[in-house]
Structure 1
């Protein structure tokens, strides 16, 4: 890995503004050295050493790209290349990304900065980068064939524009977009306000992550890029639970969470224990008159949202997508529902033919967390994660907001599990109970039927296999 310290020794190298085009060999000698990162840990915020000061973001399981100042221009170097991303401990994927990782590093600038971004293409096909949500010259918008020639393999192009407005943005390919984004190519972009802004509050913690989805068969390493609906891995910053770090904050902190959606569907993001306001989108800060308290907000495809709240309740609070299949890993969509099916007679007959056969699903899917079923190489259980009271039975888009009174300002280390005050944990009740009231399924009708059925019927429905994905 090239260190951030090594990056800044190039700060005095000269380099002029170049139109979006292939960079010559002479110009290449003046490029800032690319910084490569391969660790999946959440890196500490990158405090600005040059340019306008700002409060930096923390990229969940990611990092911020260093820059150099060159005659008043903030210069970055992105390298588009094949990468290996650890999606969770013991599970790695062969993806495409930037600077050694998927997603690429977060780019942080300040409103009014002139930004120059060198993009070197080390992919096996052409490439172009779109700066999602930015106001910029049309020729810098990054749509191959429409606003620029595509960046051929082995070539370097340069983009230059002024970051004209503060907000939460992203960057992603606009060349063979279906393949390149399905392979994990995207990154976050944050433009901080230059000064005090009437619609942007100061926060003590500022997190960001992108929502993404993959279809990777158990035992394989490369996503299926033709998948449109039946994804089996739902990720934040190309990580899946239990590989997603917790968001660690101090009691009383004002917290901002920036989320962008680059999947094929919407995601209702839900936070436990707190209410939040949507204070910004990829269109900029939202007017204060348009804000109301929420605990769940739906983030559509291609949208960015800023969630803000005061962390005023101590504890370990879940943060997750509220689509239940999006908090599972490595799902098989063709598995039939077997709840209530009695396997006791058939299981002994199957074992001589299939010694590793295991009964699953007759009491629900929670049994999956207790099984020691052998897994294919390079995959992860569907439900996993061990909490202080047992299995969490989650996967995919799930993490924890950890709010602690003793957390130091600016300290992002995991404080461990919450120590609950006595008498504040749900527990087994062992005293006698009265018979509970029960609802009767039978009910009346607003308009009685002329002919009544002789005996009640129970409807059982099974979808034909050809209708998967509807």
Structure 2
């Protein structure tokens, strides 16, 4: 992390504080120094050194925002600004975010904390911050024009409220929302329980990330903000596979994964090798009587989901959105399908005229993961990522849960690829295959035909004459 010590130089940068927060001019003159993060790596959990203790989360390809204690109030400083986000190695996007990143840093507090968040606007237009899912005074809800004046460029507002309920939340603008969220303005918020909670178990690993999506044309770097459905980059915390870090845990760990969805569609998130229960939403902890085992949970637009499981199976287990086109990168929506058509001669002639011409192969799309075709600068390949057995042929919302017996407690380093025990990997069958045994009897259908009646049955119908006698 690094700080921009002269970030707020000039008196104009600290004007315009939200009056409802009743913060003195002295406090405004000494704002907490903004902490800026430029790396897209998963940072270590931020263990609290002041305030109430809690077990910190780990933000996938992100970090937790430091704070200062001021007369018993936990103070944070968010800076809304244009950022450059590396979405995958070699591919960067020009986004809007907070404190140097998109999404912004995770904010962690404890139930009962009085929280004060300073928000400085360095965007070219006004903004606001809505604290999604929080119970707070109406004037702190962050809807510009309805509950507050918008934060104009160069101004700093302050929000202050008590974190009343433990749970999984997020923050995002409620000002020019379609443009600002399409540009990446969002962040995660976790309120930890003050003490033992009957519906919130202790876990060994607690991961958080947001589901977001962008429409960035190949060779470009800025999202198209008017897109409503045809996004081509589906991401977790503005990272696309293979740029998404793996979730590294120790065998036997109780693991919690918290997700929030700020895309334009739902995402069925699927975990291989394990089953889990949904233990919380943005409405709070789920009663234990309402939980059941799942391997896939659907996260709808604007929802948070908190799932938990015991990582009891060693290996490298895929975790991904189960919408197949959400595990692709930079996919064009008007690419023709040529499966079954030998079009190699035509493609050769077309590429002489249009070097970037691309069409789905006649055998499907898997060949495209192996093709070394030229791509425009700053373009992520559609399917990429190499595993221990070859191309993974995935992109977008895809990562790996790495469960290891020898992973030390609290160690989040990537342990490398799993070393499978001998004889435990699917393999090609060598030699001639034995004949498959035939069934002893052909069996019957689910609805066998009944024997026809011995004699025909004539149905007698008497039609009423007029309507007399009908009621």
> What is the TM-score normalised by the length of structure 2?
0.88
SS in 2 for 1:367: helix
SS in 1 for 2:226: coil
Contact 2:3–2:34 (8 Å) recurs in 1: no
Once the two structures are superposed, what CA deviation does each residue of 1:334-388 show, in whole Å capped at 9, x if it has no partner?
1111100012554555465557767741110011111110000101110000000
Pairing 1:351-366 to 2, within 5 Å after superposition: 353=353, 360-366=360-366
Q: CA RMSD in A?
A: 2.6
Equivalent residue for 1:47? 47
Distance change in 2, residues 1:446/1:188 (3 Å): farther
Pairing 1:339-418 to 2, within 5 Å after superposition: 339-347=339-347, 349-350=349-350, 353=353, 360-418=360-418
Aligned-partner Cα distance in 1 for 2:411–2:387: 22
Aligned-partner Cα distance in 2 for 1:128–1:159: 10
Contact 2:21–2:160 (8 Å) recurs in 1: no
Shift of 1:20: 4.3
Distance change in 2, residues 1:287/1:352 (3 Å): closer
Aligned-partner Cα distance in 2 for 1:128–1:47: 29
Once the two structures are superposed, what CA deviation does each residue of 1:147-181 show, in whole Å capped at 9, x if it has no partner?
00000100000000000010000000000000000
Once the two structures are superposed, what CA deviation does each residue of 1:290-316 show, in whole Å capped at 9, x if it has no partner?
000000000000000001000000000
Contact 1:234–1:240 (8 Å) recurs in 2: yes
1:74 and 2:74 aligned: yes
Equivalent residue for 1:120? 120
Distance change in 2, residues 1:32/1:344 (3 Å): closer
SS in 1 for 2:292: coil
Aligned-partner Cα distance in 2 for 1:18–1:354: 56
Contact 1:4–1:66 (8 Å) recurs in 2: no
Pairing 1:228-307 to 2, within 5 Å after superposition: 228-307=228-307
Distance change in 2, residues 1:361/1:437 (3 Å): farther
SS in 2 for 1:178: helix
1:216 and 2:216 aligned: yes
Distance change in 2, residues 1:23/1:332 (3 Å): farther
Contact 2:97–2:104 (8 Å) recurs in 1: yes
**Which runs of no fewer than 5 residues in structure 2 stay unpaired?**
6-16, 439-444, 450-471
SS in 1 for 2:2: coil
Once the two structures are superposed, what CA deviation does each residue of 1:50-85 show, in whole Å capped at 9, x if it has no partner?
111110000000000000000000000000000000
Contact 2:83–2:96 (8 Å) recurs in 1: yes
SS in 2 for 1:179: helix
Contact 1:22–1:155 (8 Å) recurs in 2: no
Equivalent residue for 2:337? 337
Pairing 1:176-191 to 2, within 5 Å after superposition: 176-191=176-191
Equivalent residue for 2:225? 225
Distance change in 2, residues 1:37/1:360 (3 Å): same
Equivalent residue for 2:140? 140
Shift of 1:213: 0.3
Pairing 1:413-452 to 2, within 5 Å after superposition: 413-434=413-434
Once the two structures are superposed, what CA deviation does each residue of 1:206-240 show, in whole Å capped at 9, x if it has no partner?
00000000000011110000000000000000000
Shift of 1:19: 3.3
Once the two structures are superposed, what CA deviation does each residue of 1:3-47 show, in whole Å capped at 9, x if it has no partner?
599xxxxxxxxxxx9634798975442100000001000000000
Distance change in 2, residues 1:331/1:354 (3 Å): closer
Larger radius of gyration: 2
**Which runs of no fewer than 5 residues in structure 1 stay unpaired?**
6-16, 448-470
Aligned-partner Cα distance in 2 for 1:207–1:38: 20
SS in 1 for 2:409: coil
Distance change in 2, residues 1:26/1:387 (3 Å): same
Aligned residues: 434
Shift of 1:433: 1.9
Equivalent residue for 1:196? 196
Contact 2:335–2:360 (8 Å) recurs in 1: no
Aligned-partner Cα distance in 1 for 2:149–2:160: 16
Contact 1:384–1:391 (8 Å) recurs in 2: yes
Contact 2:335–2:359 (8 Å) recurs in 1: no
Distance change in 2, residues 1:435/1:226 (3 Å): farther
SS in 2 for 1:104: coil
Shift of 1:420: 0.3
Aligned-partner Cα distance in 1 for 2:353–2:146: 60
Distance change in 2, residues 1:121/1:434 (3 Å): same
Contact 2:336–2:359 (8 Å) recurs in 1: no
Pairing 1:317-332 to 2, within 5 Å after superposition: 317-332=317-332
